Structure 1
Amino acid sequence: MSTPIPAGSLEGKTALVTGSSRGVGADTARFLAAAGANVVINYRSKAPRAEKLAAQLHEEFGTSTLVVGADLTDGDSVDSMMGAVKDVFGGIDLLFLNASGGMEQNMGEDYAMRLNRDAQVSTLEKAIPLMPAGSRVVFVTSHQAHFIRTTPTMPEYEPVALSKRAGEDALRERIPSLADQDIEFVVVSADMIEGTITATLLNRLNPGAIDQRREEAGSLLNVAEFAAEIVKAAVEEVPPHNERICGDVSSFAPIE
């Protein structure tokens, strides 16, 4: 796995990646560790998987890691996570809002909005006191969500897409106040990602959906490729409109 940013370039920095025990979040954590950052690995329910990743990162890169279980929809749980981060590392230089969901069963009708909008804002607000000047926030989303106002998506994904766009909008409203504290904000968006749990669930509900989307787009990023874009968004110059749009978007109508 090639590294998207140079080894040692994040030495002394601390990065918190929500939902990082597997998939895109785990590869994001791996790239950050390879660049020398301290990495906080957040998980909701799979502690052994998160602990295994932390051990791998420490063994491979010598990085300092902290594994913290926290359900982002539970404010007390997030408070505990931030307290642990403060105790161990003192602060957060890079906050990656990667955790998302909404296709799970038996989580309540409003779960997608609670997780993809409300919890994103709450997590940011609880992290800000730990973020020094020069920090950056990266919000991870999909083209299906980012462009949902102008381009319909498959019905099975629509509630998630709408809630993630609502989360993006709510976070964007905070850009001016973040700027006042010298904290930068970037949205990273890509099409469906090969190999993610979301893609697997969508293909189960709508057989052939991923193949069809791949054919329409020409190609789709895999987990590692998207994680590389996310990490680069944390260190490269903030792009126009605070958004890093990955891959082809010819299938999506632009947002006015």
Structure 2
Amino acid sequence: MTENTTPLADKGAIVTGSSRGIGAVTAGILARQGAGVVVNYRQKAPRANKVVAGIEAEGGRAVAVQGDLTSEEGRQAIVAAAVEAFGHVDVLVLNASGGMEADMGEDYALRLNRDAQVAMLDAALPHMPSGARVVFVTSHQAHFIESHPTLDAYEPVARSKKAGENALRDRLGELEAKGISLVVVSGDMIEGTVTATLLNRAEPGAIEARREAAGRLYSVEEFGAEVAAMATADVPTGHTEYVGGAGHFGVAE
């Protein structure tokens, strides 16, 4: 029996923060698996358009949609585009995160990494059929923050992302009643991401030290593939998929 290479045929997907990096890789893979994908961006339209063009060049379906997750207008625009183009939202990848930006206000990390994640789910839920899946992307440094300290520069982000994960997990019963599953993907520091760059700038040598402790760090492409895999993986709701370096945090790999 041959493996189905288009498990998401006729499905609609939203990948937040997907104009570059992990989100862009995830969007591309979901499109190759048959999904129509909303490529979401906050400011940089040319980058998002390039991701869409790449998907379309491979015969896939995608639309670029501007939307700030911290605004109701932005969230509604993202969902409306998905429904108009693809009919429904079968996969919601909550990838967008931040909080180390210096010009977004002291509470930005919590507004984006907790409040906006839950609000994005709420915006999409009316259009998510039974069998749909939510994938929340986080880091080991956030997922394990309650038991393992992290870099000072990253701690506010880590705590806000953990708060976001907890808030989503609080909805597990409600989601399960609707036939919708939630999967968390937790990864170590990822080579080449904005967060890793900012952390290394704030605490020089941080990436090299983490690489040495973990043995190796995943690339953006490798981690994006792991995130995309969880859109269709046969795992129970509430499952956490650990990607690289989790042994340092006491998790067997």
After TM superposition, the score normalised by the length of structure 1 is 0.94
The residue type equivalent to 1:32 in the other structure is L
Misfit runs of 4+, over 6 Å: none
Counterpart code for 2:93: F
Distance 2:7 2:172 in 1: 26
Which of the residues 61, 66, 88 maps onto 1:64? 61
- Cross-structure match for 1:91: 88
Matched residue pairs, number? Answer: 249
Which stretch has the larger CA shift, 123-132 or 84-93?
A: 84-93
Does the CA-based 8 Å contact 2:200-2:207 persist in structure 1?
yes
Q: Which amino acid aligns with 1:54?
A: V
Is 1:114 equivalent to 2:111 in the alignment? yes
1:213 is aligned, of 194, 207, 210, to 210
Letter in 2 for 1:172: R
Q: Distance between the aligned counterparts of 1:87 and 1:215, measured in 2?
A: 47
Q: 1:176 to 1:64 in 2, by over 3 A?
A: same
Match of 1:163 in 2: 160
Counterpart in the other structure of 2:229: 232
Deviation at 1:150, TM superposition (A): 0.1
Give unmatched runs, 5+ long, in structure 2: none
- Residues 38 and 81 of structure 2 are in contact (CA less than 8 Å); yes or no, is this contact kept in structure 1? no
Residues 44-90 of structure 1, C-alpha deviations (whole Å, 9 max, x = no match): 00011101110111012x11111110000001221122122222211
Give RMSD over aligned pairs: 1.3
Q: How does 1:135-150 map to 2 (within 5 A)?
A: 135-150=132-147
- Which residue number corresponds to residue 42 of structure 1? 40
What's the offset of the Cα at 1:166? 0.2
Question: 1:222 aligned to 219, 222, 225, which one?
Answer: 219
Amino acid at match of 1:130: H
Pairing 1:73–2:70 present:
yes
1:176 correspondence with 2:163: no
Deviations 1:118-151 (A, max 9, x none): 0000000110001001000000000000000000
Q: Aligned letter for 1:36? A: G
In 2, the alpha carbon distance for the partners of 1:166 and 1:180 equals 23
How far apart are 1:252 and its partner, in Å? Answer: 1.5
Matched-pair contact (CA < 8 Å) for 1:19–1:41: yes
